[in-house]
C-alpha cells in the first residue's frame, strides 16, 4: 500500500481481512497503519525507491492510495517490470492531474458538466469574470491536494481567486492555467467504481463534506467527513450516473487510446437538470473510503487483484459486491488551524476507549507513534492536518451519527476541531430515518 492517510488506513484495514493477504507493507504509512502493516520509510512520490522495494520483496500487488504517484507515472514504471499494480497509468491519471484535460474530454464525449472556459492569462480570466458575473467556480488546472477549487459568490472573490492561483501561485505550477466554471446547485454525491476498462463494479454511494466548518461554511479542505449510503442517490439516479457519466468517460478514454485500470471517482452534483460532474479523481476518495469500506462484506483485495489483471469479469460473475445494510458515518478530527497552518506533535488521548465501542473503527490519518517503555502501549501524536477519521456503523443514518459522535467525544488532543453536522443532509433527504 502506497500512502499515509486515513484512506490508506481504511484500505489496509480492509485488505488485512482478506484470505489472500499474508503480509502487508505500507509506504510510508502512519501510526495507526502500523497495527496491520509493516510501515516502510519511503515517500509516496519516490517512485524509484518504491519500484526497487517491490522488486526486492517480490510484492504480488501494489495498491496506490494518493493521486501524486499516479500522476507521476508509477503504474507505467511497475508495468515495465511486469509488477502487478492497481491504479491507472499516467495518461489516464490526467483525469485528475489536469482539470483542463478532464473538462475537454467531457465536452468531447457529451458528459454532463458545468459550462466552462480555460485561461492561461490572469488578466483575460478577470475580464471574463467581469463579463460573466458571479457566482462561479475558479479551479486550478493541476493537483492541489483537494483544495484547488474556489467557489466565488461575487466577482471580487472570483478575481481574488484568480490572483491567488495564477499570480501569487498558492498552488504552485498547478495554477498555470485556470478553469472558470458556472456554479452548479443541488446535492453532492461521490460515486466510486472499480474498472479494468471493460467491466465496471460500483461501490456504495457516499457523500463528502468539503468545507471546514458546519453548514458548509469556511474554506475547502481535503474532506471533513462522509457518510454512506447517500439517500439522495436513488437506484434510478445511480443508473443514470453510470450510463451517462461513468461508462461514457471510460468509453471516451478508450476512443482516445487510453486504457483505464483501477478506481474511478466521480464527484457529482445532482442538479434540477440531472446529475453533472464536478470533478473526476483517479483514486479512492478520502474520507469517503472510510465510510464505504466498513460496509463492504466482499473481499476487496480479490476485486482489486482481478482489476489489475484485466479480469474484473470474474468478480462480476459472482454477483457483484455484497454490502452491509447498515449506514456508516465518518467524522474527521483535525488539527487546530487546518486547512491553514497547524501544529503537530500533540498527544492524542482516548483512542482505546473509542475503539472499544461496538461498531466503531478509528482510522488514523496524520498520526505517528512516540514509543513509551516496553511496559506500556505506544502513545500516538498528531502528525498532520487531518488526524483521525472516527467511523461508526448504525442500523440507520441517525444511529450511525449518534455512535460516531459518542466515539469522537472520547477522543481529545490540543486544538482538535471537527464538524458537528456530518450526516445531517442525509437525514433531511431521507426524512426521519
pLDDT in tens, 290-321: 999 999 999 999 999 999 999 998 876 655 79
Is-contact 268 241, C-beta < 8 A?
Answer: yes
Write the pLDDT tens digit of every residue in 216-232.
Answer: 999 888 899 999 999 99
Write the pLDDT tens digit of every residue in 367-417.
Answer: 999 876 455 677 899 999 999 999 999 999 999 999 999 999 999 999 999
What is the arithmetic mean of pLDDT over 260-271?
A: 96
Residue 386 cell numbers, joined: 487531518
Buried b (16+ CB within 10 A) or exposed e, 220-244: bbbbbbbbbbbbbbeeebbeebbeb
Euclidean distance between CA atoms 49 and 55, whole angstroms: 10
Q: Percentage of the chain surpassing pLDDT 90?
A: 90
pLDDT value of position 316: 63
Write the pLDDT tens digit of every residue in 336-363.
Answer: 999 999 999 999 999 999 999 999 999 9
pLDDT value of position 432: 37
Angle between helices 247-255 and 99-108 (to 10 degrees): 100
pLDDT value of position 371: 72
pLDDT value of position 433: 40
Peptide bond into 396 cis (omega under 30): no
Amino acid at each position: 500500500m502506497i500512502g499515509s492517510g486515513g484512506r490508506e488506513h481504511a484500505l489496509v484495514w480492509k485488505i488485512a481481512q482478506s484470505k489472500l493477504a499474508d503480509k502487508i507493507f505500507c509506504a510510508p504509512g502512519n501510526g495507526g497503519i502500523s497495527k496491520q502493516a509493516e510501515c516502510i520509510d519511503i515517500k509516496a512520490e519516490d517512485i524509484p525507491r518504491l519500484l526497487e522495494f517491490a522488486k526486492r520483496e517480490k510484492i504480488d500487488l501494489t495498491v496506490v492510495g494518493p493521486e501524486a504517484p499516479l500522476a507521476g507515472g508509477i503504474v507505467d514504471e511497475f508495468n515495465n517490470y511486469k509488477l502487478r499494480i492497481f491504479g491507472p497509468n499516467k495518461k489516464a491519471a490526467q483525469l485528475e492531474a489536469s482539470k483542463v484535460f478532464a473538462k475537454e474530454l467531457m465536452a468531447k464525449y457529451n458528459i454532463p458538466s458545468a459550462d466552462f472556459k480555460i485561461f492561461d492569462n490572469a488578466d483575460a480570466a478577470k475580464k471574463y469574470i467581469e463579463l460573466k458575473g458571479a457566482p462561479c467556480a475558479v479551479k486550478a488546472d493541476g493537483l492541489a491536494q483537494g483544495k484547488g477549487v474556489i467557489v466565488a459568490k461575487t466577482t471580487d472573490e472570483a478575481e481574488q481567486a484568480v490572483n491567488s492561483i495564477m499570480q501569487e501561485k498558492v498552488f504552485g505550477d498547478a495554477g498555470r492555467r485556470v478553469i472558470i466554471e458556472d456554479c452548479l446547485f443541488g446535492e453532492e454525491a461521490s460515486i466510486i467504481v472499480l474498472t479494468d476498462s471493460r467491466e465496471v463494479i460500483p461501490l456504495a454511494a457516499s457523500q463528502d463534506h468539503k468545507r471546514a466548518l458546519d453548514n458548509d461554511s469556511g474554506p475547502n479542505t481535503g474532506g471533513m467527513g462522509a457518510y454512506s449510503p447517500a439517500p439522495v442517490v436513488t437506484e434510478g439516479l445511480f443508473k443514470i450516473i453510470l450510463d451517462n457519466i461513468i461508462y461514457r468517460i471510460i468509453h471516451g478514454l478508450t476512443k482516445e487510446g487510453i486504457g483505464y485500470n483501477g478506481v474511478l471517482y466521480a464527484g457529482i452534483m445532482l442538479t434540477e437538470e440531472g446529475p453533472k460532474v464536478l470533478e473526476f479523481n483517479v483514486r479512492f476518495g478520502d474520507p469517503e473510503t472510510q465510510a464505504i469500506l466498513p460496509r463492504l462484506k466482499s473481499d476487496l483485495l480479490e476485486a482489486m487483484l482481478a482489476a489489475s489483471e484485466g479480469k474484473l469479469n470474474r468478480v462480476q460473475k459472482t454477483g457483484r459486491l455484497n454490502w452491509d445494510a447498515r449506514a456508516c458515518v465518518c467524522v474527521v478530527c483535525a488539527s487546530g488551524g487546518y486547512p491553514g497552518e497547524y501544529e503537530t506533535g500533540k498527544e492524542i488521548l482516548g483512542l482505546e476507549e473509542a475503539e472499544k465501542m461496538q461498531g466503531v473503527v478509528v482510522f488514523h490519518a496524520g498520526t505517528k507513534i512516540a514509543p513509551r517503555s516496553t511496559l506500556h502501549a505506544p502513545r500516538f501524536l498528531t502528525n498532520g492536518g487531518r488526524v483521525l477519521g472516527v467511523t461508526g456503523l448504525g442500523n440507520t443514518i441517525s444511529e450511525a451519527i449518534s455512535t460516531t459522535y459518542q466515539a469522537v467525544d472520547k477522543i481529545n488532543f490540543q486544538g482538535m476541531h471537527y464538524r458537528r453536522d456530518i450526516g445531517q443532509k442525509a437525514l433531511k433527504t431521507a426524512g426521519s430515518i
